[in-house]
Amino acid sequence: MLKMEADKEILNLKPITAEMNILSRSDGSVIITQGDSSCIVNVNGPTEVVSMANMDMNKAYMEVSYRPRCGIPGVNERYKEKIIKNICETVILTALYPKSQINIQIQEMDDGSGIFACVINACNVALLNSGIEMRSTMAAVHCVLDDKDNLIIDPIDYSDDTPTFSRIQKAVRNSKYKADFTFVFESLKESVISVNTNGNFTIHQYNNAQKLCKEASKKIFEFYCDLARKYANVI
Amino acid sequence: MKDPILSNNERAFVEKAIAEKLRIDKRGLNEFRNLAIFYGKNYGSVIASLGETKVFASVSCEVSTPKTTRPNEGTIFINVEMGSQQNEPCIVVTRILERTIRESNCIDLESLCIVAEEKVWNLRVDISILNNEGNVIDCACIAAVSALAHFRRPDCTASGDGEFTIHKSAEKDLIPIVLHHYPICVNYALFEGKTPIADPTILEERVTNASLILAVNAYKELCSIHLTGVSLTSPYLIQKCSDMAAERAKHIVEYIKDALEQDRIDRENGQAKGFSQSIKLTNIPSNFTDTQEIDQVMDTENDGSGELEEVMADESFEKIDSDTVASTWTKEESDESSDSDVQVIEESPKKKGIINVMEIVDTSSDDEEKETIVLN
């Protein structure tokens, strides 16, 4: 019933490379490239709370700052910050760090397709690197629905538009697909902890996308294991 | 980014060492840290690193109206961010870069004009200081200049009566920004107002607030000069520093040009790796230094205290043993495009596309060899 005739099953993810500890002044940092997207994330914390208004007696306060590749951060970036903050609060054991603050800084470097998934994966690796206690790890997978109703996992999309810092031009990008999904899974029960969608799709397509992304997320969890194994060798 | 704490003991130690012409990281007084430049997949994005100091710069452009005083010139805007918010050091760096890049007229702003008095290209350089281990200004300047040199803007044709078309990259090749020269900032920390230390680390910067920042281009022309903290004690100081800075600038410009050329060749061959080429798995603890590197530094630091050495080598994280590997996910060269239609959602194990491949990092591919130049 979930089967769709024109559906392609491509569990290919774009090549991921990551390097931890690239910034000496941060508690945890990572540079990650995922196909045509890349970003640097650094995590600092737990530190004292900068503004007393944000102090929480029961858990750590999270602050996320997202810097776009070019131009000043605007509404889009605030929106992404909010989502990332929510996701991170889900996976971090914030109750272990009361009256303190955890800062996550994200610098987008190549904003190709699936940059948001790339950023979330980078946040996860940076958090692992920083040694902040986490409930589980998380993996984000990007998936699009093209004009022929095919679901494509993590498409390679060489956009030919030139870099611009005006927000209006940024917003009209990525209109070549019917819809795109970014699913975030946690590692314990492999359940969805966040979904971010754009465009029009049916519930079947959504379910299919989720199913595909869940399969693909296993590869990312494997990648985390690989990464941890390599670093554990040296440390 | 955390601010390091400076103790009195550290301060005394550094000052005493400098008086004996020694530096805590074993460099000579006029020795620079390793420089590395990596270009991203997009035009105009660059990571520059000077030792552990890392700066990301990206250039973007859009069409806007020109200033009324300069109706046939494009504009350039430089924005520097350090940490999450703007603070005082950022403004200082922004100002120095503006003077170095904008006011030295290194960019041909007239070539950015589309229709005089109506439409010009507006360039924006966003500089993000990722990691501050001292000498941010040098690193930011190198990043900004190499990003500008790397950037391509869309071509534009004006068709009379004030109308014009901006071509996509598929229609017409993107065109580079015209740079007349490459101004390079060279920062010298001044101890006791007279001993210049090249490429100060953050500790040295904090011990002495005095610094002399010279912007020089490859033709040994001084573009801007910035003195902080002290008044000049010696009339020869600026002359001496600007001579040293000129040599340094020449090497850096060569390095930037080599990196650009390499990137151009990679792009022509369709092998632009983007930032993934900067990724190695070796510098796992960030303070990790392999013995080989120390030997090399020791070699260059020979006894002659009057001699000036300059070392420009690969970034330390490029010096890796050939048996260390980066973990890379390589996907199969898939046939995504060819068979589009009939495929059913069935788990067939061989379709699981992704294979975990250990890709051996090719260290020999980078042609930026270590070079040691001894100046007398």
- Give burial (CB, 10 Å; 0-12/13-18/19+) of B200: buried
Closest alpha carbon to B298 in B66, B31, B90: B31
Q: Which amino acid is at B177?
A: I
User: For A189-209, what is the mean pLDDT?
Assistant: 92
Contact B286 A110 (CB under 8 A): no
**Candidates B41, B279, B280; nearest CB to A36:** B41
Which residues in A lie closer than 8 A to residue B326 (C-beta atoms)?
Answer: 17, 19
| Closest Cα in chain A to B335 | A10
- Surface of A (177-206) touching B: CB under 8 A: none
Quick check: A149 contacting B, CB < 8 Å? no
The residue extents of the domains of chain B are 8-280+307-323
Contact A163 B59 (CB under 8 A): yes
What's the token pair of residue B324?
Answer: 């260390």
pLDDT digits (tens, 9 = 90+) for A80-119: 999 999 999 999 999 999 999 999 999 999 888 889 999 9
Contact state of A163 with B168 under an 8 Å Cβ cutoff: no
- Mean pLDDT for chain B? 76
What is the average pLDDT value for chain A, to the nearest integer? 85
ipTM, 2 dp: 0.88
> At B3, is the pLDDT very low, low, confident or very high (cuts 50, 70, 90)?
low
Q: pLDDT tens digits for B321-334?
A: 333 334 344 334 44
Looking at the complex, does the CB of residue A210 fall below 8 Å from at least one CB of chain B? no
Going by C-beta distance under 8 Å and a sequence separation of 6 or more, which residues neighbour residue B372? B299, B300, B309, B310, B311
pLDDT exceeds 60 at position A36: yes
Q: Does A108 touch chain B (CB under 8 A)?
A: no
Provide the residue ranges of all domains of chain A, joining segments of one domain with +: 16-234
The structure tokens listed for B138 are: 């040098």
Specify burial of residue A172 (Cβ count, 10 A radius: 0-12, 13-18, 19+). exposed
The most confident of the ranges B203-212, B224-233, B322-331 is B203-212
> What single string gives the DSSP state of each residue in B41-92?
SSTTEEEEEETTEEEEEEEEEEEEPPPSSSTT--EEEEEEEESSS--HHHHH
Count of pairs with CB atoms under 8 A, one residue in A, one in B:
193
Residue B349 has pLDDT above 60, yes or no: no
Contacting residues of B for A24, CB less than 8 Å apart: 52, 131, 133, 286-287
- Quick one: pLDDT at residue B273? 72
pLDDT for res A99: 93
The Cα A17–Cα A13 span in angstroms is 12
Among A10, A21, A232, A45, smallest CA distance to A142 is for: A10
Q: Is the pLDDT of residue B310 over 90?
A: no
Query: Above 90 in pLDDT, residue B83?
Result: no
Name the architecture of domain B8-280+307-323.
2-Layer Sandwich (3.30)
| Span A212-223, pLDDT tens digits | 999 889 989 988
Contacts of B170 in chain A (CB under 8 A): 160
Fold of A16-234: Ribosomal Protein S5; domain 2 (3.30.230)
Q: Is the dihedral of CA B101, B103, B105, B109 positive or negative?
A: positive
Q: How long a stretch of residues is chain B?
A: 376
Tens of pLDDT along B19-39?
A: 999 998 989 999 999 999 999
Give the pLDDT band of residue A177 (cuts 50, 70, 90).
Answer: confident
Which of B279, B283, B343 has its CB closest to that of A33?
B279
Asked whether residue B215 carries a pLDDT value surpassing 50, the answer given is yes
Give the angle A77-A78-A84 at the CA atoms, nearest 5°. 85
A98: which 2 tokens?
Answer: 């009361």
**Strand residue runs (E) in chain A:** 16-20, 28-34, 37-47, 61-67, 101-110, 138-145, 151-153, 179-186, 192-199
Question: Between B349 and A13, whose confidence is greater?
Answer: A13
Say which residues have a Cβ less than 8 Å from residue B69's Cβ, sequence separation at least 6: none
Rounded to a whole number of angstroms, the distance from the CA of B32 to the nearest CA of chain A is: 18
Tell me how far apart the 2 most distant CA atoms of chain B are, in Å.
80
Please indicate whether, in this complex, the C-beta atoms of A21 and B352 are within 8 angstroms of each other: no
Q: How far is CA B189 from the centre of its chain?
A: 20
Q: How far apart are CA B113 and CA A22, in angstroms?
A: 40
| Binary contact (B124, A71; C-beta < 8 A) | yes
Q: Residue B86: pLDDT above 70?
A: no
Task: Report the pLDDT value the prediction gives residue A226, as an integer from 0 to 100.
Answer: 85
**How much of chain A exceeds pLDDT 90, in percent?**
54
Confidence category of residue B201, pLDDT binned at 50, 70, 90? very high
What is the structure's pLDDT at A104?
95
* Neighboring chain B residues of A26 at a CB cutoff of 8 Å: 1, 131
CB within 8 Å of B329: residues ≥ 6 apart: A13, A14, A15, A16, A17, A219, A223, B354, B356, B357
For testing the chain A interface, which of B62, B87, B174, B317 should be mutated: the one with the most A CBs within 10 Å?
B62
